[in-house]
Amino acid sequence: MLSYTEENYLKALLQLTVEKGNKEGAGTNELAVHLNLKPATANDMLKKLKEKKLVEYEKYGKSSLTREGRRLATDVVRKHRLWETFLFEKLAFAWDEVHEVAEQLEHIQSKKLVDKLDEFLGFPGFDPHGDVIPNARGELQMRSTKTLHEEVVNHRCTMVAVKDNAASFLQYVNQVGLRINDTIHVLSRQPYDDLMEIEVNGKKSSISSRFAENIVVSCKDCDIAKPKIKSLNAIK
């Protein structure tokens, strides 16, 4: 049985590696920053998780999850996203409020609870932020992650997710009038600072490059329509 803390380390490593496509693994400092801890603390835990065969760690090297570690981390992510969906769909939470509470709920230990919750929600594929919910077998659908920042001027695309789940960012997205599945028309881009002008539902807005980098979009020529299954069993 993993502690609350150990689960958070595994989840962080999953986010810093698999989800960000950072194949070599995550550095100790990077991990510490992500978890708001000191590097010394992260270092201790990496050694502990290596002992438990959940993490690949070598002195002065990058760390990554073992197959078992990835399975456990994926399960935490699954729970997190199912709870977010519950809060949003059933309890009428706003999308910028669900993350914080799900951070607590994701650690509840009960296989039955997760499976029943999944069923109660109608086996959802995506959470309120557009992120893929891993299925009960620990499989995580991978989507190509083109961001609005990479979109071409004059093209239209559809918003499918956000990359940053922080309440402050999500509230800003609301303010711009952007919602998942909305069509975004890119009107212009300043070459100097990549400031973009976009139109959504008839409303024009100027957005910074930092903002645009956190909006995940799909377009006709994207391969987003044919998602690949990244099975844990497929990983040697």
Token pair of 227 as six digits: 């998602």
Quick one: what does residue 189 bind among DNA, a second copy, none, with the CB cut-off 5 to 8 Å set by partner type?
A: none
What x/- string results for residues 104 through 143 when contact with DNA is judged by CB under 7 A? ----------------------------------------
Residue 131 makes CB contacts below 8 A (sequence gap 6+) with 81, 161
Q: How far is the CB of 104 from a second copy (least distance, A)?
A: 5
What x/- string results for residues 7 through 46 when contact with a second copy is judged by CB under 8 A? ----------------------------------------
Quick one: what does residue 236 bind among DNA, a second copy, none, with the CB cut-off 5 to 8 Å set by partner type?
A: none
Residue with tokens 């002065």: 60
Q: What is the DSSP letter of 226?
A: S
* Closest to a second copy by CB, 31 or 87: 87
Sign of dihedral through CA atoms 212, 217, 221, 224?
A: positive
State phi, psi for 173 to the nearest 5 degrees.
-60, -45
Q: What is the DSSP letter of 134?
A: P
Quick one: what does residue 183 bind among a second copy, DNA, none, with the CB cut-off 5 to 8 Å set by partner type?
A: none
Q: Tell me which stretch binds a second copy (CB under 8 A): 107-115, 133-141, 148-156, 209-217.
A: 107-115
Q: Are 97 and 167 in contact (CB under 8 A)?
A: yes
- Name which position in 37, 45, 117, 160 contacts a second copy (CB under 8 A): 117
- Name which position in 24, 40, 90, 150 contacts DNA (CB under 7 A): 40
Under the binding rule (CB under 7 A), the answer on residue 45 touching DNA is yes
Q: Are 147 and 216 in contact (CB under 8 A)?
A: yes
Identify each DSSP E strand in the chain by its residue range. 55-56, 64-65, 140-142, 156-162, 183-189, 196-200, 203-207, 215-218, 228-230
* Closest to DNA by CB, 2 or 98: 2
Under the binding rule (CB under 7 A), the answer on residue 39 touching DNA is yes
* Closest to a second copy by CB, 116 or 210: 116
CA atoms within 13 A on the CB side of 48: 13
Residue 234 makes CB contacts below 8 A (sequence gap 6+) with none
Residue with tokens 């309440």: 167
Residue closest to 77 by CA, chosen among 142, 6, 161, 12: 12
Token pair of 235 as six digits: 């990983």
Q: How far is the CB of 101 from a second copy (least distance, A)?
A: 5
Under the binding rule (CB under 7 A), the answer on residue 52 touching DNA is no
What x/- string results for residues 15 through 34 when contact with DNA is judged by CB under 7 A? ------------xxxx----
Could you list the residues that contact a second copy (CB under 8 A)? 87, 90-93, 97, 100-101, 104-105, 108-110, 112-113, 116-117, 120
